[in-house]
């Protein structure tokens, strides 16, 4: 029993030294990262990459670029992250220009720190890619519209034909836009006078925008009010 107790006591310092050694290794690594200003480069890169992704998701559809080009941009940004960390580790920007960062750690520690840096960059990029790539689809612009029957606000109810004529003219002009999907007049006539929620109309007709309005005619004067509504937000 005494021998077993003696062995247990002898192992305590050994385990403690190992834990302390690992703590010193990590502490030395983070001190080097801070000294070489790698944190700043990492934060700046993430902000810039996020900005590029946001701009690309909106601009690429306008340029009619295929969706794989946007995914390629995301992949290149992910690959560039660990590369930027390595460059920030190796070089520093000084008033005299770009200079190699002075090394204070021994050779073995220097190699270990570089390996830890690369591993950290790759892990972060892989985690970001796992989250971003399935969602990296350029924002699709739904170009579709439905023109609801215009409401006749005139005192003379027989002027309803005038409101229908304005709706027909708008439909005719919109249909001339080649890349715009316009719902036919027949499909929207059922919403005359008792239009439900705009979101419900958008879902039923499969459009992203609703055009509604009213016509008031008094003598030779005509007043037309038109409102374009986003069918997804009702705004």
pLDDT string in tens for the chain (235-residue length): 444 444 444 444 444 444 444 554 455 666 777 777 788 888 889 899 889 888 887 787 777 777 778 888 888 999 989 898 888 887 876 666 677 766 665 555 677 777 888 888 888 888 888 887 776 655 556 788 989 888 888 777 767 778 888 888 898 888 888 778 888 888 888 888 766 688 888 888 888 889 988 888 777 788 888 888 888 777 7
Q: Report residue 204 CA to chain centroid gap.
A: 28
Q: What is the DSSP string of 108-128?
A: HHHHHHHHHHHHHHHHHHHHH
3-state helix, strand, coil in the chain (%, to 5): 60, 15, 25
Q: By C-alpha distance, which of 115, 49, 121, 130 is closest to 82?
A: 121
Q: Are 215 and 223 in contact (CB under 8 A)?
A: yes
Q: Is the pTM of this model over 0.85?
A: no
Phi, psi of 26 (to 5 degrees): -65, -40
Domains of the chain from N-terminus onward: 2-135 (no CATH), 144-230 (3.40.50.10610)
Residues with Cβ < 8 Å from 181, sequence gap 6 or more?
143, 144, 145, 207
């Amino acid at each position: 029993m005494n021998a077993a107790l003696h062995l247990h006591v002898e192992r305590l310092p050994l385990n403690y030294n190992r834990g302390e050694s690992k703590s010193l290794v990590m502490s030395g690594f983070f001190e080097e990262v801070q000294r070489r200003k790698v944190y700043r480069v990492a934060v700046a890169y993430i902000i810039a990459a996020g900005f590029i992704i946001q701009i690309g998701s909106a601009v690429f559809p306008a340029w009619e670029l295929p969706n794989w080009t946007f995914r390629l941009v995301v992949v290149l940004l992910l690959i560039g992250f660990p590369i930027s960390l390595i460059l920030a580790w190796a070089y520093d920007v000084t008033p005299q220009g770009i200079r190699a960062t002075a090394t204070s750690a021994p050779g073995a520690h220097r190699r270990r720190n570089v390996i830890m840096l690369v591993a950290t960059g790759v892990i972060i990029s892989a985690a970001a890619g796992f989250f971003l790539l399935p969602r990296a689809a350029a924002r699709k612009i739904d170009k579709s519209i439905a023109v609801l029957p215009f409401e006749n606000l005139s005192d003379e109810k027989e002027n309803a034909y005038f409101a229908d004529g304005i709706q027909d003219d708008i439909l005719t002009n919109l249909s001339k836009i080649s890349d715009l999907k316009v719902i036919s007049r027949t499909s929207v006539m059922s919403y005359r006078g008792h239009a439900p929620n705009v979101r419900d109309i958008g879902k039923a007709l499969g459009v992203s925008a609703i055009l509604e309005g009213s016509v008031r005619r008094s003598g030779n004067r005509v007043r037309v009010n038109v409102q374009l509504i986003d069918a997804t937000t009702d705004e």
